Homo-oligomer: A and B are copies of this chain.
């Protein structure tokens, strides 16, 4: 930890601006949030991508969304083996501790993780196949989705299809968690899958009946 540096000045300035305006104007809410705790209605699982902020898209204020962000908004299958599983921990906390009413998985266009998975699978990025590749091993989660589409797509079409498969694989894997399945069966939790187009601002929702993503 001796490598830690002071906060870059541009962020210090921005923080002080926020403190003097946004925080000051909403101080009572921040103090209630601190003393009464958080009671978010929904958990969002989205990508780390700098271009997709669900707080912006859904105009969410502090206290509304419990947000987990990882590479390609993936949920791996349930694996209670005593190892560290970060995404699984967030889902466990959201469902068992916070008792959220919704888990929303949101994928997006031009997803670097999905592109990396495609390149790895087509042999264009062999380095991602190595044990030492964290991106490669994390994106292995997407394999069931690839198996579903690989024979009916090619090139960029495949990448777009895989962005949607990432959401669908995550929805499937969520249901492998007993505490998720139980809450869904008890009708105290619903699952939702979205796909967002960055350049057009479009938002589509997964519809199991058609097996397609439809504009919301």
A161 is an interface residue with CB less than 8 A from chain B? no
Q: A28-B102, A48-B66, A141-B84 are in contact. Are A20 and B21 (CB under 8 A)?
A: yes
Interface centre among A6, A7, A26, A94 (most CB of B within 10 A): A7
Q: Is the CB–CB distance between A58 and B11 below 8 Å?
A: yes
Q: Secondary structure of the A side of the interface?
A: mixed
- Nearest to A72 among chain B residues (CB) is B89
Contacts of A68 in B (CB 8 A): 48, 69-70
Contacts of A184 in B (CB 8 A): 3
Q: A57-B18, A59-B14 are in contact. Are A32 and B99 (CB under 8 A)?
A: yes
24 chain-A/chain-B pairs, Cβ below 8 angstroms: A1-B206, A6-B25, A7-B192, A7-B205, A7-B216, A15-B57, A17-B17, A18-B58, A28-B189, A31-B186, A31-B187, A31-B199, A32-B99, A32-B101, A34-B198, A38-B51, A38-B112, A48-B66, A50-B66, A52-B62, A53-B67, A70-B89, A84-B137, A86-B138
Instruction: Identify the A interface with B (CB < 8 A).
Output: 1-43, 48-53, 55-71, 74, 76, 80-94, 97-102, 104, 109-110, 112-113, 116, 131-135, 137-141, 168, 171-172, 175, 183-184, 186-194, 197-201, 203, 205-208, 216
